[in-house]
Amino acid sequence: MDQIIEKIKAYPVIPVFYHDDVEVCKQVLKACYDGGIRVFEFVNRGKNAEANFKALVDYKKEAMPDLTLGIGTILDRSAAESFLALGTEFLVSPIFVAELAETAKANNCLWIPGCMTPTEIANAMFAGCGFVKLFPGETLGTGFLKGIKPLFPNMKFMPTGGVDVEENNIKNWFAAGVTSVGMGSKLFKQQDGQYNLEEISANCKKVLGWATA
């Protein structure tokens, strides 16, 4: 678990992605990897989530063994256990659910719950979580983080939702004290229903550069 946290600190941009087509998933994963990404969050948001995640686990073992691959949008213990069995290396949720803290602990797996209020962050802290997802990030903003961070000096934060491929946006989040950022649709813009894989790689490089400058 500590090893994965250190990996996130070293590569603090985490793409957040789902697609029904497994080949698209593989192409996007590889494009992110080629852009320097080493921590990736697939999300449990569609009918093929389990099958596609298993395929990505196999693909990354073969082609990208140094990539850390986790699963997001985990809402209950059953989903967590299903993806743990498929080989997820970490769990992410948009909410805080106490039973997920227990499941993660029992499996020695990093769990990053989603929190929106100081009370939710405190509940996560008391449940043993040292890393939380600020969600939705664009609603909370950097001012919120600056305001609550002194209350939780040892907590690590990752905003997700609205984090943009824009230098000031990225630098402002890190200046406010985040450990990492989760990036979804802003990183994966489509044109005519297609992803520009070269642009995804280039954007990953840019954002990683800003995040680690």
Per-residue pLDDT at 1 exceeds 90: no
SS3 letters for 146-204? HHHHHHCCCCEEEEECCCCCCHHHHHHHHHHCCCCEEECCCCCCEECCEECHHHHHHHH
Q: Is residue 42 part of a domain?
A: yes
Prediction pTM value: 0.97
Confidence of residue 117 (pLDDT cuts 50, 70, 90): very high
Q: List pLDDT tens digits, range 124-142.
A: 999 999 999 999 999 999 9
User: Distance between CA 209 and CA 139 in Å, rounded?
Assistant: 25
Q: Domain total for the chain?
A: 1
**What is the average pLDDT across 200-204?**
97
Confidence of residue 189 (pLDDT cuts 50, 70, 90): confident
Question: Quick one: pLDDT at residue 140?
Answer: 96
Per-residue pLDDT at 191 exceeds 90: no
User: Distance between CA 177 and CA 101 in Å, rounded?
Assistant: 24
Q: Is residue 43 part of a domain?
A: yes
CATH code (residue 83): 3.20.20.70
Q: Is residue 160 part of a domain?
A: yes
Question: Quick one: pLDDT at residue 202?
Answer: 97
Per-residue pLDDT at 103 exceeds 90: yes
Structural domain span for residue 75: 2-207
Q: Is residue 99 part of a domain?
A: yes
User: Distance between CA 37 and CA 101 in Å, rounded?
Assistant: 27
Residue 5: Cβ-neighbour burial (10 angstroms; 0-12, 13-18, 19+): middle
Question: Quick one: pLDDT at residue 181?
Answer: 98
Query: Distances from the Cα of 141 to the Cαs of 41, 74, 207, in angstroms?
Result: 22, 23, 18
Q: List pLDDT tens digits, range 173-182.
A: 999 999 999 9
User: Distance between CA 58 and CA 177 in Å, rounded?
Assistant: 35
**What is the average pLDDT across 74-89?**
98
Return mean pLDDT, the chain: 97
**What is the average pLDDT across 46-62?**
97
Per-residue pLDDT at 114 exceeds 90: yes
Q: Is residue 213 part of a domain?
A: no
User: Distance between CA 119 and CA 124 in Å, rounded?
Assistant: 9
